[in-house]
Homo-oligomer: A and B are copies of this chain.
Amino acid sequence: MPSAKKIITREDVAKLANVSHMTVTRVLNGEANVSEKTRKRVLEACDRLQFRKNLVASSLRSRKSHAIAVIIPTFRHELYSRLLSVIEEEAQKKEYCIIASQLLRPDQAQAYLSWSRISELLCRNVDGIILDCDLTPEMEERLAMESVPLVCINRYSPLRQLDTVVSDYRSGFSNLTRLLIRNGHKNIIFAGGIAGRAEFSDSLAGYQEEMLRNGLTPVQHGSGYSFEDGIAIADDLIHGRFSFSAVMGSSDYVAVGLISRFQEHGLQVPSDISVTGFAGDSITQFYHPAITTAQQPVQELALTAVQRLMYRIAHPDVKDKMTACIPVMVLERQSVRKL
């Protein structure tokens, strides 16, 4: 029976070291009150037997799994995979592991988190959850009721009653707008977005405020955040009677779509039209022309979220909620021209 390997337990170690299994526990958990001699003996025995602590057993008894769950729409988009990356790095440092799960199944466009998803995770006794997905108000209430340590990242919760870490879209777009105005642009169009989303309202508000402050007329056109949306909007802009010297994409991919379509119509970026993106995905760096954009503060978002989650885990009874709004940095590149 090749797979029937004997499992080494604390008891085996205890026997070899000639102590009780409690002493082994104390040594392994780094508790202070063990004599140096005993400690050494135990450690040696562990080594000799190649003892491996069973975290599942420890988790059952102590109700601490040292695991956190992360739910994001998909691993395939750069922003999400970068967030996940920083979260995991940080969790690793704190000796937590992450259970990563994607919201979207390939066959369905379900964008909202379902309770069963949370339930599966709670069955596994995760110590906390980081959430980057859309919540119905009912879900939010249920989550609050359950009082599991939880932080929303990159998205507002509908009732604003959960800990939340988001980018400052408003000032991000306001800074981008200011950059264009400083470069002499007056007719600047905001392209894309999805009505009803808080992130979009904030973005639009940042743009509009800056335009109005400078006596300019804000114009928003089209919807969406994808490459294809950018293509479609470019078509509209070219065939409609818009007059503009610059277009601000709601995302980097909208910007890329805009630029490629403009070029297909013989319009060069930035010599004929200036274009900006939003997010700071790697394509903005490698694209030709390199695209001026605002960098999502991935590192800070993720670190803040993990920190807050750890705080919640350590203080389950604290009730006050936090919302952190992380500044966004403009990255000046080649897709904007000085008029």
Considering only residues 44-76 of chain A, those with a C-beta below 8 Å from chain B are 52-57, 59-60, 65, 67, 74-76
Residues on B with beta carbons closer than 8 Å to the beta carbon of A317: 1-3
- Contacts A2-B147, A54-B125, A288-B260 given: A75-B85 contact, CB under 8 Å? yes
- Contacts A56-B124, A98-B100 given: A84-B89 contact, CB under 8 Å? no
CB distance from A52 to the nearest CB of B (A): 6
Report whether A102 and B88 are in contact in the complex, using a CB–CB cutoff of 8 Å: yes
Report whether A57 and B55 are in contact in the complex, using a CB–CB cutoff of 8 Å: no
Residues on B with beta carbons closer than 8 Å to the beta carbon of A122: 52
User: CA–CA, A65 to B99, complex, Å?
Assistant: 13
User: CA–CA, A106 to B299, complex, Å?
Assistant: 12
Tell me whether A328 is interfacial, beta carbon within 8 Å.
Answer: no
Chain A 88-116, CB-CB to B under 8 Å as 1, else 0, gives 11001000011111100110000000000
Interface core residue of A2, A263, A282 (most chain B CB under 10 Å): A282
Please pick, from B1, B5, B65, B259, the residue contacting A56 in the complex, using a CB distance under 8 A. B65
Residues on B with beta carbons closer than 8 Å to the beta carbon of A78: 78
CB distance from A90 to the nearest CB of B (A): 10
- Contacts A81-B76, A125-B56 given: A120-B97 contact, CB under 8 Å? yes
User: CA–CA, A3 to B314, complex, Å?
Assistant: 12
Residues on B with beta carbons closer than 8 Å to the beta carbon of A147: 2-3, 5
Residues on B with beta carbons closer than 8 Å to the beta carbon of A256: 286
Please pick, from B54, B67, B75, the residue contacting A81 in the complex, using a CB distance under 8 A. B75
- A residues contacting B by CB (< 8 A) are 1-3, 5, 52-57, 59-60, 65, 67, 74-76, 78, 81-82, 84-85, 88-89, 92, 97-102, 105-106, 119-125, 147, 227, 253, 256, 259-260, 263, 282-283, 286-288, 316-317, 319
Additional A-B contacts beyond A98-B101, A256-B286, A283-B286 (15; CB < 8 A): A2-B319, A3-B316, A5-B147, A52-B122, A54-B123, A56-B59, A74-B85, A75-B75, A75-B84, A89-B105, A92-B105, A97-B101, A253-B286, A283-B283, A288-B288
